[in-house]
Amino acid sequence: MKHALRLRARAIAQHINQDWHTEVSASVCSRLYSYLQEFDYQSIGLYMPMRDEVDVRPLISKLQKEGKSVYLPKVINRSDIAFFHYKEGDTLERNGVFSLEEPSADKKAIETALDILIVPAVHFYCGYRLGRGKGYYDRYLSKYPPKHLLAGITLGLLGNEPFPQDEWDIPMKIIFSPKDDDSSLPPLLKQDA
């Protein structure tokens, strides 16, 4: 079932209009940024987005201008991720099975828990994350749960589709996604489409 949902989300993502993606990403990031104001934090884990993920790059820039330390994930030893400090303008390399933009190998990973971790996902249901199927975040979170906040972020391409959870799945405290009204859905998911 999880594999089928991932395939469905990937198919939908291929038809996403760039204007819709930009608008929804800005809206989701604005709500996330407002929520972050409730916390006293210095370090935050984010990510470089894939096409079917919320574009958080403007948020990264904004947080860095405020003096926050931003960390990005990098796949290490093929089965784990670690987080590395990132400053706007740092060199990023495309690596791994998903060809993600990651910090260069010459940096040292943070070896303590981040204050806040924002986790992207294909889909969320009842607070649980459906990732890409490699378990990177599951393994990372079992070692380094964030100090203040574990939040999920998604474009919401699959609506409210249920999926089974596994015993190692860790629920998010809060999920940031497009609003639940029909106007925020990608055109392919609107009821009249």
pLDDT in tens, 128-169: 998 888 889 999 999 999 999 999 999 998 888 888 888 888
Is the pLDDT confidence value at 181 over 50?
A: no
Q: Supply the mean pLDDT for the chain.
A: 88
Q: Give 43's DSSP letter.
A: E
Total domain count for the chain? 1
Position 136 in a domain: yes
Position 138 in a domain: yes
Position 191 in a domain: no
Is the pLDDT confidence value at 184 over 60?
A: no
Question: Which of 34-38, 104-108, 112-116, 155-159 is predicted with the least confidence, judged by mean pLDDT?
Answer: 104-108
Encode pLDDT of 22-38 as tens digits: 999 999 999 999 999 99
Q: Give 53's DSSP letter.
A: S
Position 192 in a domain: no
Position 193 in a domain: no
Full residue range of the structural domain in which residue 122 is found = 2-186
Q: Give 109's DSSP letter.
A: B
Work out the pLDDT band at 182, boundaries 50, 70, 90.
Answer: very low
Token readout for 45 is 């884990």
The per-residue pLDDT for 97 is 64
Position 12 in a domain: yes
- Reported residue count of the chain is 193
What is the torsion angle, in degrees rounded to the nearest 10, for the CA atoms of residue 174, residue 51, residue 108 and residue 145? 20
SS3 annotation, 116-178: EEEEECCEEECCEEECCCCCHHHHHHHHCCCCCEEEEECCCCCCCCCCCCCCCCCCCCEEECC
Position 127 in a domain: yes
CATH number, position 72: 3.40.50.10420
Token readout for 168 is 């190692």
Work out the pLDDT band at 51, boundaries 50, 70, 90.
Answer: confident
Q: Are 118 and 44 in contact (CB under 8 A)?
A: yes
Position 178 in a domain: yes
At residue 5, the 3 state secondary structure works out as helix
Nearest to 42 by CA among 64, 25, 22: 64
pTM exceeds cut of 0.75: yes
